[in-house]
Amino acid sequence: MNYRPLGHSDIQVSAIGLGSMTFGHQNSEADAHQQLDYALEQGINFIDTAEMYPTPSRAETWGSTERFIGSWLAKRGRRADIVLASKAVGPSRNGAQAHIRHGQSHHDGKNLREAIQGSLQRLQTDYLDLYQLHWPDRSTNFFGVRDYPWQEHEEGVAIEETLAVLADLVKEGLVRHIGVSNETPWGVAQFLKASERLALPRIVSIQNPYSLLNRLYEVGLAEFSHHEGVGLLAYSPLAFGVLSGKYLDGAQPAGARLTPGGPYARFNRYASAEAAVAVRAYVELAHSRGLSPVQLALAFVLSRPFVTSALTGATSLSQLQENLGSLQLSLDEELLAAVQAIHDRVPNPSP
Q: Which amino acid is at 278?
A: A
In the residue annotation, 247 being an active-site residue is answered as no
Cβ contact 144:135 at 8 Å: no
Neighbour-count burial of 218, counting CB atoms closer than 10 A to its CB (0-12 exposed, 13-18 middle, 19+ buried): middle
Q: How far is CA 191 from CA 93, 138, 158, 180, in A?
A: 22, 13, 10, 9
Task: Check residue 173 and report its DSSP letter.
Answer: T
How far is 3 from 11, CA to CA, in rounded Å?
9
Nearest to 180 by CA among 158, 205, 143: 205
Our separate counts of H helices and E strands in the chain read 10, 10
The active-site residue, picked from 3, 38, 53, 127, is: 53
Specify the pairing of strand 12-14 against strand 3-5.
antiparallel
> Euclidean distance between the first and final Cα of the chain, in Å?
29
Angle 133-104-99 (CA atoms, 0-180°, nearest 5)? 95
Question: Which residues does the annotation mark as catalytic?
Answer: 53
